[in-house]
Structure 1
Amino acid sequence: MRVSRVTTDVLDGAVSRAVEDAVGSPGCGAVVTFRGVVRDVDDHRGVTGLDYEAHPDATAVLRRCVESVAAETGLRVAAVHRYGTLVVGDVALVAAAAAGHRREAFEACSLLVERIKAEVPIWKRQHFTDGVSEWVGL
């Protein structure tokens, strides 16, 4: 399994483990994993689900994000982002970083998630409990 990709596959425990396995090594005392989960509220409005749309180049951009964070930090990092229709509780993003110590792993994982959110061409449409939907981040 490639661990720097955009996919329609469900991001379950097996995917999370694969992302963690991709970054872990015997010299790493810390593996930090982030799972972005669809929540049921946004700005005090009830949410029923999300539609993620991905540009055809999204996987290539995600890989560049992973490679750039790895180069900048000198650490092993990986990520998988889901697109398509997701409901409350579904995982949209799994990202991980490994380091000798926890602080570096946390910082690298945070940097990776922020870079992915800023650069990967994936757009989100939120569906609210009142029947209204809106695009986020366009």
Structure 2
Amino acid sequence: MNDHFRLTHEALDVAAAYAIADKARNGAVVLMSGMVRNQTGGRAVDYLDYQAYDTMALQVFQQISDRCHRQFPITDVVIHHRLGKLKIGEISVLVAVGSPHRGEAFEACRYAIDTLKAEAPIWKKEFWLDGVSSWVNCPI
């Protein structure tokens, strides 16, 4: 296993996350990049702010990876998440999964991001262009 987890205020690097999961033993690497979009529910978004309980979030990333390894024949899991203020178009989360076969890599990547969004103590606050803001789908 070559799993890697990261929380950072720095820009996320797609090529670096991909490279961690890109090993000779793998026939596939699936990478999911979540980005800040310019609207939610028809409202224009100005920016997002992400906050986390860092220590617990990294533990949840490890738990997600452990479950992925138990459920799917995969070799590598990479989970990187941004914190702080993110502008439209910036990457907020990267999940990469390496596997000998593409089907399992796709399934595990989807499982990982869906579980992260449901379980990780990471909170998103949306700031709209009209000056209003609100917390969104806080899992804890």
Same fold (TM over 0.5): yes
Q: How far off is 1:100 after superposition?
A: 2.3
CA offsets 1:85-132 (integer angstroms, 9 cap, x no match): 111011000101122222211111111101111111001000111111
Q: How far off is 1:28 after superposition?
A: 1.7
Please, which of 5, 24, 27 is the counterpart of residue 26 of structure 1? 24
Q: Distance in 1 between matches of 2:78 and 2:69?
A: 9
Q: Which residue of 2 aligns with 1:37?
A: 35
After the TM superposition, which residues 80-95 of structure 1 pair with which residues of structure 2 at under 5 Å, given as runs?
80-95=80-95
Question: Any unmatched runs of 5+ in structure 2?
Answer: none
Aligned residues: 134
Question: Any unmatched runs of 5+ in structure 1?
Answer: none
Q: Which residue of 2 aligns with 1:64?
A: 63
Higher mean C-alpha deviation, range 118-127 or range 62-71: 62-71
The structure 1 segments of at least 4 consecutive aligned residues displaced by more than 6 Å after TM superposition are none
Cα RMSD, aligned residues only = 1.5
TM-score (normalised: structure 2):
0.88
Q: Distance in 2 between matches of 1:74 and 1:102?
A: 10
Identity %: 35
Q: How far off is 1:136 after superposition?
A: 0.3
Q: Distance in 2 between matches of 1:133 and 1:84?
A: 15
CA offsets 1:39-96 (integer angstroms, 9 cap, x no match): 0010011001101110132222222212221232131211101111111011000101
The one-letter code matched in structure 2 to 1:29 is G
